[in-house]
Structure 1
Amino acid sequence: MDRLRRSTVTVAAALAALLIAPAAAQAQQTEYVALGDSYSSGSGAGPYTDTACQRSNKAHPALLAAELGAEFTFVACGGATTDDVLANQVQALDAGTDLVTIGIGGNDIGWTDAVIACITPFKNCTPAIEESERQATQELPAKLDAVYTEIESRAPDAEVVVTGYPRLFAARNTCDALGSISIAEQVRMNQGADVLSGVIQAAAEAHGFTYVDVRDEFTGHEICSQTPWLHGFTLLDVPYHPNAAGHASGYYPALLGAL
């Protein structure tokens, strides 16, 4: 009888351990750190929890953190370059970091200057686009490599997901900036965006990181489309950045699919 009682207690303890173990595993939160520039911080998505960096809870990293129930550190900042990431953002990483997302590179190649040149009436913006492409192909790879190497060093066990940039324009009409951006200029800017995407993808994959290409998601929702997921020329919001729909329906599904 004592032997039976002991056996019953042993089986009950084993079953309890099996039930408790999954619950304990689920209770452990994912430590998630989001790095990057304005396309990661949510500039244009609003409203902002941090006005200096234009961080928004409608940005795709915040949406992902909520979905995962993660312990979330949000340090992406509008206007950031690769140097800014190294100086001000990677310090948020440590050996306990489980997941890192980063979108960076556009501010390193003078892309804003190219956009400004194209929206300026009677100005040929091809030289500005060509200069951005030159910086993207000749200078940006080493800068990305430095950032990705630092991420690996600080968060060696983390899954790292690198997000790219969408093409800006539908390239079917001249709706934007009072019609000053021609269809040919829109096409040329989209080609420049493709060059940038290719450089970022190659650098990410060289480090074994997952690259998330959002160009397909944004197809049909560019500036000058019927339902744009990007702001065009505007004084009321952040121009040439994804709106809340661009994050929720463009970036977020692509990022979630990659995970």
Structure 2
Amino acid sequence: MLEVSTLRGGYREGVTVFDDISFSLSGGAIGFIGRNGAGKTCLAQTLSGGLRSTGGSVVLDGRDITSLSSRGKVRAGVSLVPEGRLVFGQLTVRENLVVAAHAAGRSNERIGQLEDQFPVLGRKRAKSAASLSGGEQQLLAIARALIQDPKVIVLDEPSLGLSPVAVDELTATLRTVVTETGQSMVLMEQNGELLTGLCDEVVLVEQGLAVRRLDMRNDEDQNALFESYLGV
């Protein structure tokens, strides 16, 4: 279980970008939605170790991992799928996965399992990552994170730059991963359709603060998300 309590952080000392963020997660997905500058990317980087928190705690399966580096958090079981995907464009799909597997100490068998789980990656294993569509690159970035068998995946704006069709496909794929494996996911997003299709809970973030929590299994809360945040 991931337990985050009153977490606070920023990009430099003395400047707070988000504050008092608390949630717990044991399987399934939780989403954080907010406009640009709300603090979502800073939160993602802090959860995954790219930035150090300035207050609060992050506990994973009873172990306090708050102060660990990004490498330490990867070893503890937290993987980040960064904004912009950052795949190795000059390498093939298979080579991207091999690099990730080598870094995580995983075998080629694990690569084969992921190519089965993401059939488009198996079909295009010999293609360069740069030749993939945006949606396919996002799937590759997610597969690269999953190869580490993480306990928690943090996804920063996974729908960024994707077409509506690609977002629908991404939502369906992530939902399958969560349903079939019990994977825990934390998503930073601006796309309400993705969050309602995947998450059990969505947190509205404004100026670094959690201003409202919505249960996506509740029709009224789903409507509230679109009315209060998206204005529809």
Larger radius of gyration between Structure 1 and Structure 2 = 1
Higher fraction of helix: 1
Bigger relative CO (Cα 8 Å, ≥ 6 apart): 2
Same fold per TM (> 0.5)?
no
TM-score range, shorter chain: 0.3 to 0.5
Higher fraction of strand: 2
TM-score, structure 2 normalization: 0.32
